[in-house]
Chains A and B, each alone.
Chain A
Amino acid sequence: MQRTEKVLQLRGQQGRSVRVVREHYLRPDVPCGSALCQAACPRDGKLLSDDVTHYIVPDWKVVQDYLEILEFPELKGIVFMQTACQAMQHQRGRRQYNKLRNLLRDARHDCIMFFNEFQMLSYLPRERGESLEKWQTRSIYNASVWYYNHFLGRMPIVMVTDDEESVQQLGSETEGVFVISFKNYLDNFWPDLKAAHELFDSILQSRHERESESQEHSGKEYPEHVPTESLEAGIKSGRYIQGVLNVNKHRAQVEAFVRLQGASHKEKDLRTDVLVYGTKARNRAIHGDVVAVELLPQSEWKGRTSALCENESEEKASGEVYSELMPTGRVVGIIQKNWRDYVVTFPSREESQSHGKNTQKILVTPWDYRIPKIRISTQQAEALQDFRVVVRIDSWESTSVYPNGHFVRVLGRIGDLEGEIQTILVENSVSVGPFSEAQMCEMPVVLPEKPWKVSPEEELKRLDLRETHLVFSIDPKGCEDVDDALSVRTLPNGNLELGVHIADVTHFVTANSYTDIEARARATTYYLADRRYDMLPMILSANICSLLGLVDRYAVSVMWELDKTSYEIKKVWYTRSILRSSYKLFYEAAQALLDGDPAAAAEIPELQELDERVRKQKLDELIWAIGKLTDVARHIRAKRDSCGALELEGVEVMVQLDDKKNIADLIPRQPLEVHETIAECMILANHWVAKKIWESFPYQALLRQHPPPRQEFFSELRECASSKGFTIDTQSNKALADSLDKAVDADPLVNKLLRSMATQAMSNALYFSTGSHPQEEFSHYGLALDKYTHFTSPIRRYADIIVHRLLLAATSKDGKTITKNLFGNKELEELCNHINNRNRAAQHAQKQSTELFQCMYFKDKDPEKDEHCTADGIIYSIRTNGVLVFVPRYGIKGAAYLKNKEGLVICCQSDKSCSWKPGCLQRFPDRIISIPTTGESVTLKLFDHVTVQVSVQNSRCHAATIRLQITSCKPHRTSEQEPAQSHPISKMDLVKEVTKTAEEAQLAQDKAKANTLEEEYEPYRQTKGVSLYHLLEEIKDLALLDVSADSGA
């Protein structure tokens, strides 16, 4: 054991200066982490490549200020010295430091950390009276020299620093080790890397601003934050409350809520969130920050506004009606900042002129309403006017009204589809570039003339199902990434054998390979309205992993032996296998076979080539298998219903239907039973895999929980239902499902809306690591299962890949080799959080992109003239100055005002059309009455049908929004119906069909927000064949045709 001399370090801690003596061991065997190394350094982990022209060593100050530039993938061969990293950690806090850590961890970036302070020769003790900064620079320089000598001078080292003095002093001290300033470095080595130069300038400028500002200002805009220690103490003692700040999107200037977390609120009996009123009280906290709030005295409490409101910055002077008072507080400190990249828009030319003198500092407006304006220093403001731009926040001093930030990069033009999509991606922190070369190199090579083959070694290891089992897959039409297939057969003893076969993605994606790291970062495939971003490279997702028909593929199979009559599960086993899917069916065909439709067989391509007799026999086999499968699924489902009681059946059926009718084809109305069959098999597989991995790894298994919803969230649902005379029992999932089933009105939309409200009241299902939660919390409320996980879609979800690895480790005989690659509980929990976040981001991105397309669709239409802009709506919520309306035709939910900005209220004419007149509004729980001074009053009740006009409100800085205006109080008769009568052409029906599918697809999108059940049924959602965008385009085309047809007739 080598142990060397011991050095003392002195440290003063905050408050009283305490002398702390720490040991410090120096050693000769610190790995240098370079592939160039000739000495016997251990070479595990990440290595610096040896084919760069030089290594760059950033000084501590450079690391702190310009980390973003060092993150550029073009910069290679970066050595972060331990001294610099520690300085970063102490001075910039954990968040920044974690950024650095992730950079170091990322195998794609060519950078390492060198522990210079532990290396015997590169360590320098701090001299008496030497300032910390000087010593840090000196240490880093000394380490650079050591590094240079370590490679026997074969690699020049460039140390970049901001300190002019050290450039002068150290610049020519050692040959081969160059000390230059960062600016100089960029100019000389990367003259072409424009983005880096721009970033450098903008960082530099914002730094100067900050410095000059801190000198001149003394007037404080905000109270100072309470120091961290007193915050922690305050939270413990219950004086402060910790929570996440949520800014109200519609009243971003004034209202924000703090959702409580931690134990502190239990004692205080705080049921609701805490209201933070006004920006002063918010005290520089930004949406998403973890903050500590102090409650105000009860006399200052306020209520939340229930009035509808637009995102105008001016405060509404009068007419604000508050609901009951709720706890109100002010932010005293920020525990964790949650700053990310923000998309902003520069003010247009006219606006910026009125802003006046200082053209260097510009206030930009973020795309997200909840984020305050950000002050940017840049000279490019003119040029950037018409673009969406990414900025980052640097600081928010108590002396400044707005935070300071700097410009990072340009996304695209305002209003441009590509730019807007990029905006949505950045706002959801989704980063999806094309797959890198390193990742593609890991992929097996597949050429058309040389297709991929099963390797003989694998053939020995795997169970071969190719000859013995009839395997087939059922998916939506046009699906490329088939990750599940099924089989069923009778065993010699008469029992049934059911098999669910999932693509063996982990065979191709080894743990910690580049592809794996990338997939982990993406966590899921992102589906936007018009495109998708795959989690795995195309070659895997659509080819080698996909269980296509009539080719050999690897799979992971879960097999059950079922009793021949009762379908009790006798035995279950898990294995890796090789299979050849005999049929790649789509849902309609499968259903047709099940229904005994003889024509269906003609549609199956696999059967075309065969002669009549063989064909008949094969067809019979297939029909038997599908029938048996359906039978089994019915049983399993019935059992699940009875013992656990699940499901909001209608919702899921509806969603199925939407997914199913994946837009291009317009055929079935009815949900197909095949869907349920497939879903049930997948749920069964997921459930059993969850059990298995939990048994084998009780503290590091990845499961999925769906916590029971909080009862108070159901209050709106109950109120709405009672207005129609239904009672909704929300005590248990069973009771809820039953009472929802009973709440059937003459208007089918009522039930739909009630169900969607119920879904919104529920919390999201989440992934978690079993080691971090007590066992009671494992259960899945929606599916009524005690354990559940995701196993069946490894091509689209990273969680499934983890579960595959767990399962394979649990079932392999020589557990050792594989267990090595599993995550520990803590890492897994972190990963689960990451995946949950990504899933949420994916859902948001999907929803926002859909809204984007909705707006683009309505944008070119004149609301007054175009008949497509007038539609039927149903009221589903009442507010003080308006109502919330759901437009089933386009699946839009939005607000419609009964009182406009001038204070005029809506008034009904005798022909039931509406106009604006002075008057007042009266609101009751289930209806709202508009009483104009002259003319009849208007009463609107919940679930009333009205006619609304759809228009688009464009906004330069934000996403465009859909506006609704009530034009008549009676239900809208679609104008199509009349021409449809006069023109009984199928084309018109087509339009209707198309719009209906759109509507339902929309409904599904709306639910995606809170809908967890939908997710469970995603297995068969797979690839979205034709997108909503195409559909809308199609409607447009058809509309044109209609007009011409009409005029022709």
Chain B
Amino acid sequence: MAGLELLSEQGFRLDGRRAGELRQLRARMGVFAQADGSAYLEQGNTKALAVVYGPHELRGSRGKAPHAQALVNCQYSMATFSTAERKRRPHGDRASAEMSLHLKQTFEAALLTRLFPRSQIDIYVQILQADGGNYCAAVNAATLALLDAGIPMRDYVCACSAGFLEDTALADLNYVEEAAGGPQLALALLPQAQHIALLELNARLHQDHLPRVLDAATQACRHLHALLDRVVREHLRDAAALLGK
């Protein structure tokens, strides 16, 4: 498919978005009753499911566990049916392991782990359908699940990717745009304090362009924050209405 025009001269991307626009976001919280917290999130065609257990007692070897704070345990996996060709290993491969580590770092920065010494918080994220921005969808879904579980956090963690193409920064890349091989920046942001929980860049990008790409990602994260916040408030209203009766 050589020669796909990822960004037309009139400023449209392949799927009809403009450079700074996000994909459609839909989310639900509390999708499973048995877990402590859970959420389902769609960013365009990328679909993620996040489940949270804890905080609970430490399991497994205590040697590694930090003393003064809770252990955050993350596992990232992709469903075998999530890609165009069936995936052999849903988790445990190198890419998933790296992604798990990223998630762990992200949430260690956002959770108030010191409130729960000698305990453990488990976050499981599964990508049901992959169409670019898997990490971001995973983070956003996990945030909702953590909120559902009621675990204290500093702020929402909103993640969004951004790319750079022909002197323009593109927000929220989809799979085709990712596969084109340009630079891709993933940003996880605590939007109110403007703290960066994680920042990853996977190809060479000239430093002159970095501020622009970073700006695009930050802007996208802010929008995401507004959207996630709306989801949470709606969920809360529904729950409160039920309780009220």
- Could you tell me if A25 and B3 are in contact, using CB atoms closer than 8 angstroms? no
List 9 additional A-B contacts (Cβ < 8 Å) besides A23-B24, A115-B16. A3-B24, A18-B85, A22-B15, A24-B16, A31-B10, A117-B16, A824-B166, A824-B167, A826-B167
The CA of A605 and the CA of B223, in the complex, are separated in Å by 72
Contact A94 B15, CB 8 Å, known A6-B24, A31-B10, A45-B10: no
Contact A1 B10, CB 8 Å, known A25-B15, A27-B16: no
- Could you tell me if B5 and A1 are in contact, using CB atoms closer than 8 angstroms? no
Chain B residues 129 to 156 lying within 8 A of chain A, measured CB to CB, are: 131
The chain A residue with its CB closest to the CB of B9 is: A105
Query: Which residues of chain A have C-beta atoms less than 8 A from B208's C-beta?
Result: 699
Could you name 21 residue pairs across A and B whose Cβ atoms are closer than 8 Å? A1-B21, A3-B22, A3-B23, A6-B24, A20-B84, A23-B15, A23-B24, A25-B15, A31-B10, A89-B3, A89-B5, A94-B3, A101-B9, A104-B9, A113-B8, A115-B8, A115-B10, A115-B12, A117-B16, A824-B167, A826-B167
- Could you tell me if A6 and B44 are in contact, using CB atoms closer than 8 angstroms? yes
- Could you tell me if B16 and A26 are in contact, using CB atoms closer than 8 angstroms? yes
Query: Which residues of chain A have C-beta atoms less than 8 A from B24's C-beta?
Result: 3, 6, 23, 25
Nearest chain A CB to B178 CB, angstrom units: 13
- Kindly identify which residue among A24, A93, A101 contacts B15, using a CB–CB cutoff of 8 Å: A24
Chain A 1-32 near chain B by CB (<8 Å), digits 1 or 0: 10100100000010000111111111100010
Chain B 181-195 near chain A by CB (<8 Å), digits 1 or 0: 000000000000000
- Could you tell me if B2 and A19 are in contact, using CB atoms closer than 8 angstroms? no
- Could you tell me if B14 and A22 are in contact, using CB atoms closer than 8 angstroms? yes
The CA of A20 and the CA of B131, in the complex, are separated in Å by 10
Instruction: Say yes or no for B73: interface residue by CB 8 A criterion.
Output: no
Contact A699 B10, CB 8 Å, known A23-B131, A27-B16: no
- Could you tell me if B3 and A118 are in contact, using CB atoms closer than 8 angstroms? no
Chain A residues 437 to 493 lying within 8 A of chain B, measured CB to CB, are: none
- The count of A-to-B residue pairs whose CB atoms sit within 8 angstroms is 65
- Kindly identify which residue among A24, A94, A101 contacts B2, using a CB–CB cutoff of 8 Å: A94
Chain B residues 99 to 150 lying within 8 A of chain A, measured CB to CB, are: 131
Query: Which residues of chain B have C-beta atoms less than 8 A from A115's C-beta?
Result: 8, 10, 12, 16
Query: Which residues of chain B have C-beta atoms less than 8 A from A31's C-beta?
Result: 10
Of B22, B24, B206, most A-chain CB atoms within 10 Å? B24
The CA of A23 and the CA of B174, in the complex, are separated in Å by 9
Query: Which residues of chain A have C-beta atoms less than 8 A from B14's C-beta?
Result: 22
Query: Which residues of chain A have C-beta atoms less than 8 A from B23's C-beta?
Result: 3, 23
Chain B 1-41 near chain A by CB (<8 Å), digits 1 or 0: 11101001110101111000111100000000000000000
Instruction: Say yes or no for A916: interface residue by CB 8 A criterion.
Output: no
Nearest chain A CB to B245 CB, angstrom units: 34
Chain A 89-127 near chain B by CB (<8 Å), digits 1 or 0: 100011001000100110000000101011000000000
Query: Which residues of chain A have C-beta atoms less than 8 A from B5's C-beta?
Result: 89
Contact A1 B22, CB 8 Å, known A45-B10, A826-B166: yes
Nearest chain B CB to A440 CB, angstrom units: 27
Query: Which residues of chain B have C-beta atoms less than 8 A from A826's C-beta?
Result: 166-167
- Kindly identify which residue among B22, B85, B176 contacts A22, using a CB–CB cutoff of 8 Å: B176
Nearest chain B CB to A487 CB, angstrom units: 37
Instruction: Say yes or no for B96: interface residue by CB 8 A criterion.
Output: no
The CA of A228 and the CA of B1, in the complex, are separated in Å by 10
The CA of A31 and the CA of B9, in the complex, are separated in Å by 13
Instruction: Say yes or no for B80: interface residue by CB 8 A criterion.
Output: no
The CA of A94 and the CA of B85, in the complex, are separated in Å by 28
The CA of A1005 and the CA of B223, in the complex, are separated in Å by 64
Instruction: Say yes or no for B69: interface residue by CB 8 A criterion.
Output: no
At the interface, is chain A mostly helix, strand, loop or mixed?
A: loop
- Could you tell me if A23 and B44 are in contact, using CB atoms closer than 8 angstroms? yes
Closest 8 CB pairs of A and B: A25-B16, A118-B16, A94-B3, A23-B15, A824-B167, A3-B24, A23-B44, A18-B84
The CA of A333 and the CA of B85, in the complex, are separated in Å by 30
Nearest chain B CB to A252 CB, angstrom units: 31
Query: Which residues of chain A have C-beta atoms less than 8 A from B166's C-beta?
Result: 824, 826
Query: Which residues of chain B have C-beta atoms less than 8 A from A25's C-beta?
Result: 15-17, 21, 24
Chain B residues 80 to 101 lying within 8 A of chain A, measured CB to CB, are: 84-85
The CA of A97 and the CA of B9, in the complex, are separated in Å by 14
The CA of A23 and the CA of B167, in the complex, are separated in Å by 24
At the interface, is chain B mostly helix, strand, loop or mixed?
A: loop
The chain A residue with its CB closest to the CB of B167 is: A824
- Could you tell me if B16 and A1 are in contact, using CB atoms closer than 8 angstroms? no
The chain B residue with its CB closest to the CB of A117 is: B16
- Could you tell me if B223 and A1 are in contact, using CB atoms closer than 8 angstroms? yes
Of A1, A23, A826, most B-chain CB atoms within 10 Å? A23
Chain A 696-708 near chain B by CB (<8 Å), digits 1 or 0: 0001000000000
Contact A13 B1, CB 8 Å, known A1-B21, A21-B45, A824-B167: yes
- Kindly identify which residue among B1, B2, B3, B131 contacts A21, using a CB–CB cutoff of 8 Å: B131
The CA of A23 and the CA of B9, in the complex, are separated in Å by 20
Contact A19 B15, CB 8 Å, known A699-B208, A824-B167: no
The CA of A94 and the CA of B5, in the complex, are separated in Å by 10
Nearest chain B CB to A904 CB, angstrom units: 57
Query: Which residues of chain B have C-beta atoms less than 8 A from A20's C-beta?
Result: 84
Contact A23 B1, CB 8 Å, known A18-B84, A18-B85, A118-B16: no
The CA of A35 and the CA of B85, in the complex, are separated in Å by 48
Query: Which residues of chain B have C-beta atoms less than 8 A from A1's C-beta?
Result: 21-22, 223
The CA of A25 and the CA of B15, in the complex, are separated in Å by 6
- Kindly identify which residue among B3, B21, B44 contacts A97, using a CB–CB cutoff of 8 Å: B3
Query: Which residues of chain B have C-beta atoms less than 8 A from A93's C-beta?
Result: 3
Of A18, A25, A113, most B-chain CB atoms within 10 Å? A25
Chain A 207-236 near chain B by CB (<8 Å), digits 1 or 0: 000000000000000000000100000000
Query: Which residues of chain B have C-beta atoms less than 8 A from A6's C-beta?
Result: 24, 44-45
The CA of A797 and the CA of B85, in the complex, are separated in Å by 54
Query: Which residues of chain A have C-beta atoms less than 8 A from B174's C-beta?
Result: 22-23
The CA of A23 and the CA of B172, in the complex, are separated in Å by 13
The chain A residue with its CB closest to the CB of B46 is: A23
The CA of A115 and the CA of B22, in the complex, are separated in Å by 19
The chain A residue with its CB closest to the CB of B23 is: A23
Nearest chain A CB to B230 CB, angstrom units: 12
The CA of A19 and the CA of B167, in the complex, are separated in Å by 32
Query: Which residues of chain A have C-beta atoms less than 8 A from B9's C-beta?
Result: 101, 104-105
The CA of A27 and the CA of B24, in the complex, are separated in Å by 13
Query: Which residues of chain B have C-beta atoms less than 8 A from A27's C-beta?
Result: 16
Contact A118 B223, CB 8 Å, known A89-B5, A94-B3: no
Chain A residues 709 to 741 lying within 8 A of chain B, measured CB to CB, are: none
The CA of A982 and the CA of B212, in the complex, are separated in Å by 84
The CA of A699 and the CA of B167, in the complex, are separated in Å by 12
Query: Which residues of chain B have C-beta atoms less than 8 A from A26's C-beta?
Result: 16
The CA of A115 and the CA of B2, in the complex, are separated in Å by 21
Of A18, A21, A27, A118, most B-chain CB atoms within 10 Å? A118
Nearest chain A CB to B211 CB, angstrom units: 15
Nearest chain A CB to B9 CB, angstrom units: 7
The chain A residue with its CB closest to the CB of B4 is: A89
The CA of A444 and the CA of B178, in the complex, are separated in Å by 49
The chain B residue with its CB closest to the CB of A93 is: B3
The chain A residue with its CB closest to the CB of B227 is: A1
Nearest chain A CB to B162 CB, angstrom units: 16
Query: Which residues of chain A have C-beta atoms less than 8 A from B45's C-beta?
Result: 6, 21-23
Query: Which residues of chain B have C-beta atoms less than 8 A from A3's C-beta?
Result: 21-24
Query: Which residues of chain B have C-beta atoms less than 8 A from A105's C-beta?
Result: 9
The CA of A117 and the CA of B45, in the complex, are separated in Å by 19
The CA of A22 and the CA of B1, in the complex, are separated in Å by 15
The CA of A842 and the CA of B94, in the complex, are separated in Å by 57
Query: Which residues of chain B have C-beta atoms less than 8 A from A89's C-beta?
Result: 3, 5
The CA of A824 and the CA of B23, in the complex, are separated in Å by 28
Nearest chain B CB to A238 CB, angstrom units: 21
The CA of A824 and the CA of B206, in the complex, are separated in Å by 13
The CA of A3 and the CA of B208, in the complex, are separated in Å by 32
The chain A residue with its CB closest to the CB of B18 is: A27
Nearest chain B CB to A335 CB, angstrom units: 10
The CA of A824 and the CA of B21, in the complex, are separated in Å by 23
